[in-house]
Structure 1
């Protein structure tokens, strides 16, 4: 089991309740999309799964380990088995793309190898292969500050693919891309995760992308899971209730989901 949450709650220091009563089981190799309105708790859930936030209630198990019962060093080793894809990847502006991608394995390399990599890329072919999967092979030696937002997001994804973690947590990984590129990028990410047996959880604001690309979709609202099911069984009424009080746009449902029209939030 990659992820196991039982009765998990998260209350911030200011008293704001971010998550409440979360029960979630995700098996190794599963691919799951998390959807919900702004402020629903999607990012808090992913940060908790990354062991960046400590729950205030319940039990968390990641990759068969309970992170908050480990020492700081052991928890760091656990985090090296988890790949994080950020909405705005934290890449130094003057860093070369090849170095940014190879940094995916810094947690696995020795200190000497990591330092050598800063002087000269130690696995140029590996970085190039990861970038090629995302149509960025020609950006290998570009500086990060010369890339668009969508290109930076794809570099962040390439970095995690190069890392080859057991668990991938992606927070709005395609938000800066146009719909066609976003769909293609999610296809690549899902294909790679499936081929390598990696578990993937991704929060997405674009509901149509979640329904099209993921075999399991979780709806989150006000810090609680309101549904957890295959996309073909999610009804327009469920989506209406999930996004109640948000401005909605009616778009046709993807062919892989119900034939009724689906409510998609405006981005």
Structure 2
């Protein structure tokens, strides 16, 4: 088992981001998370990445409870997780090759990591993953010279170079045109299948989620509304998930959602 969530909740001050989320994702699964803006998709991904601690319930990763581990053991666990950010935090003056090789910083010793920041030692490895994303010619370009879509592809390349056991992607193709988005998601899925990697991605585009992922989870206002095989997701379910999106807000504590979609 890769991910187990038991009635997990997450609050940011007085704002409820997630409530009573229970999910089980097994090794090698490929899962898309969809829902309206502010539904809690990013919060769920960051919870799985151990970037934040649940305020209620329990999280287990690889059979371990991260927040019951020592800081050192939790760091070792995090080295097994790769996270693709919607807006990758890449320093503008950092070269693309260095940004990609930084994917393995968590697996290297301090000296090796520092050396690679100055003298990249695996240029062929960085070039190989960048070529898969159509960016081989940007190898020595500074990140500040790239477009938003190109930066997202560098973020994907970094995680592919890392070779994590759990790959989490938070809106990884939001700045790409439809062709590049489709290509990038297909690449992530091929990589996951070929290497037995567990892949979980939050996506705004429902059509991409249904086209590329065998399992789709819909969340709204911090709660799981459905958890289904992609071919079992129906138009009425999607209509209900996104109903009145412009009016979606955090309900008062103890309130129930106006729309309840049964799980598959």
For normalisation by structure 1, the TM-score amounts to: 0.91
SS at match of 2:243: coil
CA distance in 2, matches of 1:228, 1:91: 34
CA distance in 1, matches of 2:43, 2:110: 31
Equivalent residue for 2:60?
61
1:166 aligned onto 2:200? no
CA distance in 2, matches of 1:56, 1:246: 26
1:145 aligned onto 2:144? yes
Equivalent residue for 1:18?
17
Gaps of 5+ in 2: 247-264
CA distance in 2, matches of 1:140, 1:11: 40
Post-superposition offset of 1:110: 0.9
Equivalent residue for 1:73?
72
CA distance in 1, matches of 2:126, 2:59: 33
Post-superposition offset of 1:242: 0.2
Equivalent residue for 1:2?
2
Post-superposition offset of 1:163: 0.2
Deviations 1:37-63 (A, max 9, x none): 011111111111111111111110012
SS at match of 2:44: helix
Post-superposition offset of 1:177: 0.4
CA distance in 2, matches of 1:63, 1:142: 37
Gaps of 5+ in 1: 248-267
For normalisation by structure 2, the TM-score amounts to: 0.92
1:179 aligned onto 2:140? no
Equivalent residue for 1:251?
none
CA distance in 1, matches of 2:217, 2:243: 16
Deviations 1:154-197 (A, max 9, x none): 00000000000000111000000011110011001110111111
CA distance in 2, matches of 1:60, 1:12: 17
Superposed CA RMSD: 0.9
SS at match of 1:121: coil
Equivalent residue for 1:86?
85
Alignment of 1:241-260 (within 5 A): 241-246=240-245
1:197 aligned onto 2:165? no
CA distance in 2, matches of 1:36, 1:175: 14
Alignment of 1:108-127 (within 5 A): 108-127=107-126
SS at match of 1:220: strand
